C-alpha cells in the first residue's frame, strides 16, 4: 500500500493512504513499544486528526519494529522507567494517566480501529489492543497482563470489558496469574479475530479495511456506537443517540422546527405522521 506521512512525531508513526485507511504505530521498539505520557499525547493527537478526517474510515493501529534483536511488539504498556511515586511522569515531571483518555477516544471514534499485533501486547498494551474494534495478530504474538506483578491494574475496560470478551473465568485467570498467552490461545478465547504470518500482517489488515470501506459509513458508525452502548451505560446511550439526532437534523421535519423558530412563527408538523 502507498502510505504517505500524515504528521511527524517523536514516539509514533502516522500515515494515511488515498483509499481511506490510516496507520498509527507506536515507535519505541527498543522498549517493546512501552508508552510514556508523551507517546499517549501523540496518539491522542493522531486519533483526533483521524476523527476529523472525513476521508478516513479505518485505522490500523500497530507497533513498529522489529527491535535490534529482531523482536516485534504491539505495546508493553506503561513505561516503567518514567513511573514516579504517584504515576507516569512527563518531561515536566507531572504525573498523568492519560492512557485512559486514549482508550475512550479509540472506543468512541466513529470509524473502525483494527489492532495489528506483531508481537508483545502486554499490560496497558494488551488493554489498548482490547479496546480496538477488531484485532489481527501475527503467529508469534504474545498477550498478557503484568499489573499485579508490577504493582498496577486496570480495573476499567481492562478488566470488565475483557470479561465481556473472554468471560469472567478467563479474565480472572489472565489478571490473577499474569501468564502469557500465544495467538492460538488468544483466538480460542475470543481475544482476537484472526492470525496471520508476521510478514502478511499489514496486508491482511488492509484486506479487512477494504472490505469495511465498501460498506455504509453511517451504518458502521451507528453499529459501533450500539456495541458501546450496551457496555457503557448512559455515556454509551448518549453516543448512540447523538447519531440519531444527527440523522434527524437532515430531515424536513426537524428543519421545520428550526425554520419556525428563526421565522418567529409556531412550528407546523402536520405533514409528518406518527408512523408505526
Ligand atoms: O496497568 C496500567 C494502567 C492501569 C490503569 C491506568 C493506566 C495504566 C497505564 C499503564 C499500565 C501498565 O501498562 S502496567 C504494566 C506495565 N508493563 C509491564 O509490566 C511489561 C513489562 N515488560 C515485560 O514484561 C517484558 O519486557 C516483555 C514481556 C514485554 C518482553 O520481554 P522480553 O522480550 O524478555 O524483553 P525485555 O528484555 O524484558 O525488554 C526489552 C527492553 O525493553 C528492556 O530494556 P533494556 O534492558 O534492553 O534496556 C526492558 O526494560 C524494556 N521494556 C520492556 N517493557 C517495558 C520496558 N521498559 C519500560 N517499560 C516497559 N513496560
- pLDDT band (50, 70, 90) for residue 94: confident
Q: Is 120 near ligand 1, meaning CB less than 6 Å away?
A: yes
Q: How far is the CA of 49 from the centre of ligand 1 (A)?
A: 28
For a ligand 1 pocket test, name from 26, 123, 131, 149 the mutation site with the most ligand atoms within 8 angstroms of its C-beta.
123
Write out pLDDT tens, residues 130-142.
999 999 999 999 9
Instruction: Report whether residue 150 contacts ligand 1, using a CB cutoff of 6 Å.
Output: yes
**pLDDT at 116 (0 to 100):** 98
Single out the residue of 202, 197, 192, 222 nearest to residue 61, CA to CA: 202
Residue 96 has pLDDT above 90, yes or no: no
Does pLDDT of 97 surpass 80?
no
| Angle (CA) 78 80 83, round 5° | 95
Q: Quick one: DSSP state of residue 256? A: H
Residue positions forming the annotated binding site: 32, 76-80, 88, 120-124, 145-147, 152, 249, 264
Which ligand 1 atom is nearest residue 79's CA? 59
123 lines ligand 1 (CB under 6 A): yes
Residue 158 is predicted with a pLDDT of 97
Closest C-alpha among 131, 136, 134, 102 to residue 118:
136
In this prediction the pTM is 0.96
CA of 34 to the centre of ligand 1 (A): 6
Residue 178 grid coordinates: 499474569
Amino acid 85: pLDDT: 81
Contact 174, 145 (CB under 8 A): yes
Q: What is the pLDDT of residue 213?
A: 98
Categorize the per-residue pLDDT at 72 as very low, low, confident or very high, splitting at 50, 70 and 90.
very high
Q: In the chain, what is the straight-line distance between the N-terminal and C-terminal CA atoms, in Å?
A: 48
Q: Examine the pLDDT at 153 and tell me if it is beyond 90.
A: yes
Q: Give me the mean pLDDT over the 7-26 stretch.
A: 98
Each residue's pLDDT tens digit, 197-229:
999 999 999 999 999 999 999 999 999 999 999
- Residue 230's pLDDT is what? 87
Q: Distance from the CA of 203 to the center of ligand 1, in angstroms?
A: 28
95 ligand 1 Cβ < 6 A? no
Amino acid at each position: 500500500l502507498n502510505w504517505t506521512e500524515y504528521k511527524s512525531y517523536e514516539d509514533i508513526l502516522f500515515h494515511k493512504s488515498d483509499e481511506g485507511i490510516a496507520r498509527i504505530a507506536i515507535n519505541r521498539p527498543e522498549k517493546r513499544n512501552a508508552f510514556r505520557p508523551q507517546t499517549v499525547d501523540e496518539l491522542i493527537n493522531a486519533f483526533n486528526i483521524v476523527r476529523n478526517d472525513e476521508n478516513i474510515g479505518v485505522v490500523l493501529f500497530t507497533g513498529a519494529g522489529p527491535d535490534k534483536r529482531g523482536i516485534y511488539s504491539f505495546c508493553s504498556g506503561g513505561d516503567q522507567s518514567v513511573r514516579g511515586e504517584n504515576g507516569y511522569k512527563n518531561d515536566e515531571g507531572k504525573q498523568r494517566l492519560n492512557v485512559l483518555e486514549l482508550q475512550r477516544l479509540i472506543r468512541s471514534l466513529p470509524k473502525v480501529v483494527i489492532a495489528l499485533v506483531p508481537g508483545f501486547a502486554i499490560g496497558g498494551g494488551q488493554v489498548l489492543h482490547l479496546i480496538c474494534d477488531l484485532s489481527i495478530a501475527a503467529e508469534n504474538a504474545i498477550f498478557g497482563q503484568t499489573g499485579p506483578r508490577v504493582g498496577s491494574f486496570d480495573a476499567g475496560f481492562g478488566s470488565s470489558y475483557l470479561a465481556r470478551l473472554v468471560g469472567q473465568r478467563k479474565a480472572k485467570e489472565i489478571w490473577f496469574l499474569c501468564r502469557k498467552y500465544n495467538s492460538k490461545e488468544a483466538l480460542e478465547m475470543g481475544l482476537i479475530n484472526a492470525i496471520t504470518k508476521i510478514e502478511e500482517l499489514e496486508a491482511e489488515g488492509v484486506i479487512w479495511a477494504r472490505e469495511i470501506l465498501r460498506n455504509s459509513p453511517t451504518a458502521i458508525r451507528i453499529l459501533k456506537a450500539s456495541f458501546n452502548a450496551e457496555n457503557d451505560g448512559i455515556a454509551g446511550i448518549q453516543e448512540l443517540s447523538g447519531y440519531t439526532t444527527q440523522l434527524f437534523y437532515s430531515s424536513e421535519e426537524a428543519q421545520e422546527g428550526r425554520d419556525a423558530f428563526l421565522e418567529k412563527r409556531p412550528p407546523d408538523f402536520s405533514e409528518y405522521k406518527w408512523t408505526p
